[in-house]
Amino acid sequence: MTHTNGNVKGELDALLEKMTLDEKITMLAAKNIWEIPEIERLDIPSLKVTDGPNGARGGGFFEGTTAACFPACVSLAATFNRSLSRQVGKALGQEAVTKGAYALLGPTVCCHRSPLGGRNFEAFSEDPYLSGQLASEYVKGLQGERIAATVKHYLANEQDTRRFSVNEKISERALREIYLKPFEIVAKEADPWCFMTSYPKINGTNVDASSKFITDILRKEWGYEGLVMSDWGAASTVESVKYGLDLEMPGPSRIRTHEAVQKALKNDQISEEDINDRVTSTLKLLKRVGKFDDRKHTPEEQAIDLPEHRALIRKAGSEGLVLLKNERNILPIDIKKNKKIALLGPLAKYAAAHGGGSASLHCHYKVSPYDAFTERLGKDVEITHSKGAHIYRVYPDLEADCTNALGNPGFTGEYFKSEKANGKPFRTEECPKGFFNTLMNTHVEGQQTVRFSTTFQPTVSGSHYLSFSGVGPSTLSINGELLATQPDPTPDAMAFLLGVQDEIRFQYAFSKGKNYTITIQTHPSPLPSELYLLDHQSSAHLGFVLESEMEQDLLTEAVQLASEADLAICFVGNTVQWETEGQDLASMVLPADGSQDRLIAAIAEVNKNTIVVTTTGVPVETPWLDNVSAFMQAWYAGQETGNAILDALLGTTCPSGKLPISWPKKYAHTGCFGNFGLDSFESKEVEYVEGVFVGYRWFDRFWGGEKEVRFPFGWGLSYTSFEIGKARVEGSIGEGKNKKVRVTAEVKNLGEVVGAETVQVYLKPPVVEGLDRPVKSLVGFAKVELRPGEAKMVEMEFDKEGAAYWDEQMERWSVVKGRYEILVATSADPADVKATLEVFVDEGFTFSP
């Protein structure tokens, strides 16, 4: 672990001594949504942060400067490739610099507790070891560019339902073995410069409201010396200054106002020494990223589209794809035999580069599967297309055929200080489409009314479909006729912010070529919401779909094209409207209303050569699996997603991804069923009833039974085959720091193409009466690429940490005596164990965290 050297510490201490108490208090919170405050008198610069973890978005939440979009962390985890994770971290560091930001808000390392987690795609895995290992490499790559990683969300941010207020009841053992473990690994192995705390209460207390998690565990037990910031609005008490939270985000402060801090000092709730410790962490961060040196000023944001980043994104996206079925070796596609290919499904022309929320960004570009196919194969193959099904959760923004008051494409936003839109607005802005938001718009603070309008001249007549909603009370008129009224504020501001809100929907008869003045008026108001950031903000949305498009028989069209094609490829999954921060999924069924499952089933019925590609961050139910020839999971593979998918389908790359999650047949089979997400919406409390039995640790109990998984953790097919042999073990499990167990094995490529295999090592502890432990746990993995006929040795190590469980009575890690089995495998499925080795512990022992 890197510690601050004596010279730097002395320099920072001297700077701290020059600061007044008011200046120190100023530095306890951000000055705005993205920036840490500067102290001009002492030449202490500001620091800008930017959202991650799969792209450096910059200051704009919706339509900011374009940026490179890398694969989501779950896709990165599927590569099982430490080197690739570090390369992505390095490139993200370079991207952050182009946005004038020197701290990236990522990676997310919370474990996937449930397949319904709305934000699972943003995190790595259900397994804490895999999450911690790949996150550590990501952090090392990022900080090698002198960009601070911000490991989040510490702690237990596994669900988004009521995340601002939910109380999570979690056993100490589950906390230690599952939910704290990836944070512990990355803290000890990569020394991240920032941590971010989460919103939920854990066993009744917010993370920042006691000394347990930040001071006692993170700082004292793990030796962490970096900065700890809150998630946006997660600071819960002024006493967090004493409990180790360095920085309240965002600003201006809500909890740490000058008045509140001064009062806490007076009442001895906190001390000036506590404040000094917090400010020192911020000064240290500024020093680490170079803000006192060559990076003193914050440059303007730039959109720099680097070819090397394009290549890395494409490689990483393709390597993360997981081939789950390949009947009759239908893949890779033989274009000599398949001259007519039907690209079907709602995601064929949709580039599923990322999920929704903090991980979304304005990409430099996005390549859809249809784009990739037509560009690369359009001259050699006849390509047909049908969407097959509508999966709108919210209608698309009205954009085409709109002219604003200045004669430019789009809408006009007029801002008034009064309750009615009378007289001259104090500010007028242009908006490109039917959505606006005043959040982060410092030019319109204090507005009381917004008039949002356009002149719409349709090119097609019809009774077209409109949708409308506002954050505050709002109305919609066309040509002066009031057509829709929303009398109350939105009940879910977070849903609105992320574009997944419920809306008023209706049809209106439009005539081609006629002008229609569409006007929305909306008012800010206090919100019945846990997301205070949108209080007194204004926002509105206007969605639009042509009548002909909405009422077209897409299913019949898709089935007809499939019946005429040599090969039918169905692209299905979730969009940012369905899988996003702020909302957990309602079920494992693909949206919407079963339409995508019906589409696949109908296509498979008329074409035996049907391939399904799903782009989601979670497992989904697959009722059609037995009737399709091939199935590939594509995750969210970044801006090159279409090319990455096509590379794998054509065999330009050989699939090597492995599932970083277990894939249940049904949600009801999971350990957290009934105790996750929407199940806890009314009670505001959720119990982690499964304890340490998360993911494959749960499903290991059900092999051969009804709850056996559809696909096991660590599993994935290839276009070649491998042999694993010559497995050996050396070393022992012991108390000393140098006690290691080393496992080696030879991997040989038996096929005719270059391919990569991931060897996984699981440790199976001895059975002890009265002690309920998982059957096995992942303690090592190694990925190796091999030419046809080539063989290489791989090596993996683990120590006492891999053998230990948390003893709640002793409050220590414990290793029991006995025989431990070392399973050398290619997945968590017992059938995929290639060798069983053993190591003995003669005497049990305990050790401190």
Catalytic sites, residue numbers: 231
The C-alpha atoms of residue 831 and residue 810 are separated, in whole angstroms, by: 37
Residues 6 or more apart in contact with residue 267 via CB below 8 angstroms: none
Both tokens assigned to 391:
């999966």
For residues 774 and 692, is the Cβ–Cβ distance under 8 A? yes
Both tokens assigned to 363:
């990409």
Question: What's the Cα-to-Cα distance from 148 to each of 34, 39, 73, rounded to whole Å?
Answer: 14, 21, 18
Q: Report residue 742: phi and psi, to 5°.
A: -110, 125
- Could you say which DSSP state residue 627 is in? G
Beta strands in 23-107 (DSSP E): 35-36, 47-51, 103-105
Both tokens assigned to 399:
């954009």
Beta strands in 81-166 (DSSP E): 103-105, 148-154
Beta carbons within 10 angstroms of residue 764's beta carbon:
19
Instruction: Find the length of the chain.
Output: 849
Peptide bond into 332 cis (omega under 30): yes
Nearest to 123 by CA among 135, 115, 133: 135
Both tokens assigned to 616:
């989601």
For residues 712 and 659, is the Cβ–Cβ distance under 8 A? yes
The C-alpha atoms of residue 56 and residue 148 are separated, in whole angstroms, by: 12
For residues 342 and 104, is the Cβ–Cβ distance under 8 A? no
Nearest to 224 by CA among 738, 797, 814, 849: 849
The C-alpha atoms of residue 489 and residue 267 are separated, in whole angstroms, by: 39
R_g (Cα) of the chain, nearest Å = 27
Instruction: Compute the CA torsion angle 48, 49, 54, 57 (nearest 10 deg).
Output: -50
DSSP character string of 194-225: EEEE-SSEETTEEGGGSSIIIIIIIIIIT---
Q: Report residue 436: phi and psi, to 5°.
A: -145, 160
CA 847, distance to chain mean position in Å, is 34
Both tokens assigned to 481:
């006729």
The C-alpha atoms of residue 136 and residue 319 are separated, in whole angstroms, by: 19
Both tokens assigned to 372:
């990739």
Where b means 16+ CB within 10 Å and e means fewer, 808-822 reads eeeeebbbbeeebbb
Nearest to 96 by CA among 145, 134, 63: 145
The C-alpha atoms of residue 544 and residue 507 are separated, in whole angstroms, by: 10
Nearest to 585 by CA among 114, 70, 213, 80: 114
Nearest to 376 by CA among 353, 343, 328, 330: 343
For residues 576 and 118, is the Cβ–Cβ distance under 8 A? no
